[in-house]
Amino acid sequence: MPRSGHAPARGTSNGVSGSHGREERSGARVRKAAGRTALTAGQRREVMRNRLIESRLTPNAISLTGFALNVVAAVLVWEQLFFLGGVAFIVGSTMDTLDGRYSRMSGKGTPFGAFLDSTLDRVEEGIVLAAVAGYFALRGDRVAAAAVVVAVLASLMVSYTRARAEALGVECKVGLATRPVRVVIISIGLVFAKGAGIGHFELLAPAVYVLAGLSLFTVGQRIWHVRRELIAAA
């Protein structure tokens, strides 16, 4: 009798404890799942941002990837595969805009990284336009080829005037043909070039003319802006 009297009590106690433990574990899983589903879009972006920062990805790697894509774009343009070249140019140029943001966001930026980014930006734009000039030269379109040369020189001058102005202590981001605008103009020209496969368009030459004109105008804008700022500061 004593044995039968104690056995149910021990069994009941263990049963309650086991059931209570299972309920706690189940509740924890539910709360954890609820916590996951309760994350807002902003919180999910924050988690992804933190994971990206903690990764081995560096701003220089992004810059070099963008450079490689622009080299591919130049090769495709030389082969007259304009649509694919335009896509590669767009993606590569997008990488160029991301490396600076990632550098500031992650705190992984270095002075050399900033120098490399600026240098590769100029090289990338020049190498793609050099392929465009080669295409026009092969077609015997000397006017368009000359316009590409003007566009390249003016684009370099747009960047140079800003660098020299900032060396003098003058902020100089004014002007129409900034880097993003130039990328858009070149991209439109490539994607809608003759034979690109999107309609019966021939916008490559007009895009080059617009790029050359706007770049020259922007150089003039920046020279005038710097002169005015220096006179005002004197």
Residue type, 189: G
Annotated catalytic residue 99: no
Helices 204-233 and 142-167, axial angle in degrees (round to 10): 20
Contact 109, 62 (CB under 8 A): no
What the block records as the tokens of 219 is 């150089």
The per-residue b/e assignment along 100-117, b for 16 or more CB within 10 angstroms, e otherwise, is bebbeebebbeeebeebb
Q: Which of 183, 204, 194 is CA-nearest to residue 131?
A: 204
Q: Which residues contact 169 (CB under 8 A, 6 or more apart)?
A: none
Give how far Cα 9 sits from Cα of 4, 14, 17, Å. Answer: 9, 9, 12
> Active site residue: 96, 99, 121, 141, which one?
121
Contact 133, 149 (CB under 8 A): yes
Other residues' Cβ atoms within 10 Å of the Cβ of residue 130: 16
Residue 90's φ and ψ, nearest 5 degrees, are -65, -45
CA separation for the pair 85, 187 (Å, rounded):
9
Other residues' Cβ atoms within 10 Å of the Cβ of residue 163: 10
Catalytic residues: 121
